[in-house]
Structure 1
């Protein structure tokens, strides 16, 4: 049952994030409540704790990037909803898949915008001269207009689906 709810929630969030770059509370908050109540009624207080721990782990994995301005609150709530619905180990492995997929998407977008040769030159310069931040690859000369962003909900959805299909490591 929880797998079906997860897939439906992920597909709705994927659609809204791609279309409007928003993950809606009307999807994530009821999902959190569904997870908490489902596990409470099927497994009692232990089930409620199982779901609650998943919620807290999902929330804690993305709260720092959110507080630093790296992503929206909807992304954080989606990861918390995944945790409430699927538990701690699932949300943790989903996060790892999400980070890997998000990194690949970001790298492809950097290469697309700056060109392959410029990206390699910039990476080489940063590595050779021990620059403390590779951020100049994304924000050259601090120019916010040339920054690269993408709806991170896409990576979260793909990460959760990957975990659903392949499981943990």
Structure 2
């Protein structure tokens, strides 16, 4: 791994760490952090590979955005999460961006299931999903059901990105 790549990963993980802290504290990811990250990611790509790097950064950004925007459109995540994943993509190659985005979705599912388990609502949640499958209709979560409440998805984005970079990149 080159010095430039290592530096870019450290910067990316620092930005993700700041996003996680803000998301946990305020349930928001500041737009200024996203803009700073977009600029740093694209600048780093240009520095390391010139025009090709810029292309990688832009395509990576669109991949991160495109993978997450359907979840936003369906009401399953906030706009800040979509923008954060797009920012992550600017630091990565297109292949790495796709891997990080998909693994972040998996991490989000794991986080969601852990929250359901910790809150003791597994039976209630499974019953609602069974009803959805059998009736082929959507049933919104009850007011007291944790499955209907948002959680700081930046944690899943950080987790998926870490696994993609250091643990289990998808062989797409």
Counterpart residue number, 2:77? 71
Counterpart residue number, 1:149? 150
**C-alpha contact (below 8 Å) 2:100/2:160 kept by paired residues:** yes
Q: Choose between structure 1 and 2: higher helix proportion.
A: 1
Instruction: Give the 3-state SS of the residue equivalent to 1:86 in structure 2.
Output: coil
Which of the numbers 139, 142, 147 marks the counterpart of 2:141?
139
Deviation at 1:93, TM superposition (A): 1.1
Counterpart residue number, 2:166? 165
Where do 5+ consecutive residues of structure 2 fail to align?
A: 1-6
Deviation at 1:120, TM superposition (A): 4.3
The count of corresponding residues between Structure 1 and Structure 2 is 162
What TM-score do you get using the length of structure 1 for normalisation?
Answer: 0.83
**C-alpha contact (below 8 Å) 2:19/2:154 kept by paired residues:** yes
RMSD: 2.2
What TM-score do you get using the length of structure 2 for normalisation?
Answer: 0.82
Closer, same or farther: CA 53–120 of 1 in aligned 2, 3 Å: closer
Written as runs of structure 1 = structure 2, the 5 A alignment for 1:4-153 is 4-113=10-119, 115-127=121-133, 130-133=134-137, 135-136=138-139, 139-140=141-142, 143=143, 146=145, 147-153=148-154
Deviation at 1:14, TM superposition (A): 0.7
Rounded to whole Å, the distance in 1 between the matches of 2:164 and 2:75 is 26
